A and B are shown apart, each in its own frame.
Chain A
């Protein structure tokens, strides 16, 4: 019995010791650089191997975060990259999700950044302000701008901050509207391809009256688009657009108030599906309503429009530019889906090489084959409607949006507008004005 007890005690102590050692020792490979912290050894983790141990025979390990789960085209791009660089890089892919910003920042802060990440070229300010993004300008301008010239004219402007380019686009993104022509015919109305705001609202009112439907489908994630578009298009003079973008015009300006009021009117008059509850309607609910013929107009992103129309099974669809409140014919500089490289990436040359391949006409041609507009020259499409889904690419505003003035203004307009204005009125504009003054004084 005594020996049994002793054996049990010895076994327990050994077990505890093993647990202790494994808990402390499960730190992965350690890096010798000053910024590194613990790494996971699992391939599914977002870790990179030690740089010091790389020899000529060892492939450089890269972690790329470039594809959304539901983006078949991006998944194909992952396969193309893996195949192309099979002999050179050991590439691990992570899926992009709605927490992409947090994920990138966490990896940067930990000292183990992803080597290349999807990001929207117009939303880089949060990274640029914190010096978290790699300046791509030297690489773009190398060899007389060889890489830079592959991009569509003006498409790099949105990712340019203080003269430096921090991201490159792959798919230009801008809002547009699809119109179900059959419903418009039933209501006895027509609308031009590039409507004014007044024309658009008049048609909405007529369709609602004649057909008894709530005509405009705009999901909650995109509810800020009308406000953002109106805030860019309402200014009579070009200089005012520039002044507005630079934060020189207050949010209490009468034209700004008018822009907000026009959007509020859409919700007050219940032109936005499904009426009450329009502020929280999801894209899935809008798609169901679109397919069922419950809405006559659907707000969409240009590169999603072909699939949306195909899924709905609608044959008679008119593609509209986003309605404009003022005299100019530009579209919102909604930026583009693109890619960025963290500033503290371990192998910037490798990241650049992969990025160049990823944004080459060779790779992006498959998107053009699926009617997706792309931001590079040299792609072709046999689809006659391809032009319609990218017709407004060249009409982007040259000025940046005021959302780029500060992350707080960006977050407010992205997530709280128009809801806060609808519920709080001028108080919401006063909050925005406070943020504008903070941002301007910080610059």
Chain B
């Protein structure tokens, strides 16, 4: 997924995600203590005997599942949050990063974080990986899942008002062409993740966003800084802006798009060609985790089918459970959109991998694009 967190900055989930994200520590421990003591007072399992330190995206676990876990195992998950992978990396890479058991890095950063020796190698025999969607395993960012187990996944796509943009968007070229026309110009939202700005411009040229050629990346600068004047915002995705018409075309992940479409059914969602992003947020165990056993216990709990279904309904992002689509409750609205539509082909998608040699160039272009947009 992207560094900028299509979900972390999604104000589509503002009530339970972005606002909570402002807090460095979520006082879930107190909440859970209250839940479990009222739920099963007097039983041995209700006594919270330990602590599990989870460093994750804001509001990225259902409170119900956390409370059920606390009740079952007598362990209080203590949640700390970050709003982008860069922050996770920075913290784990510093003395302040000690003490976490579980972290939830995205596919884009797993290689970088594990290369720095900041993640424990996983003992895969302790998981039932056959339960998981096999197409999410053994991917290029973590061959053989040495350091990560997929939690949930998302796509980079476009949600748009076909009337305002003057037709259907099928490719990233369509996105840029429509954005420059009067119907959409000045009413576009792009993400603040550098690779999600530069990536589409590279894809339009038939190039790979994991290229090692800095010249290729720099080659998008003029085009993007020229296009920048059409962009209204690089801030959080706001479904209400798509409802009101303040934004008519937005880069978004499928969960954010679904929220907007639930508010305004005339909006359309597309994963543009020739390719787009698949990000996979993953469970990892931090190097030197205070309680590795508990970490495994928590991961096994999170990977149970019932919990995975609950988490999907709660988050709006598909968990990694195999055959999940058929297991969702029938009352989930626009459930197809949770999976990015009926016919998303993972083979046509690409996952970004942060490369220290090229990543600063992506950021440099992003800075210039944002500066140009406000000029």
A joins B in a complex: no
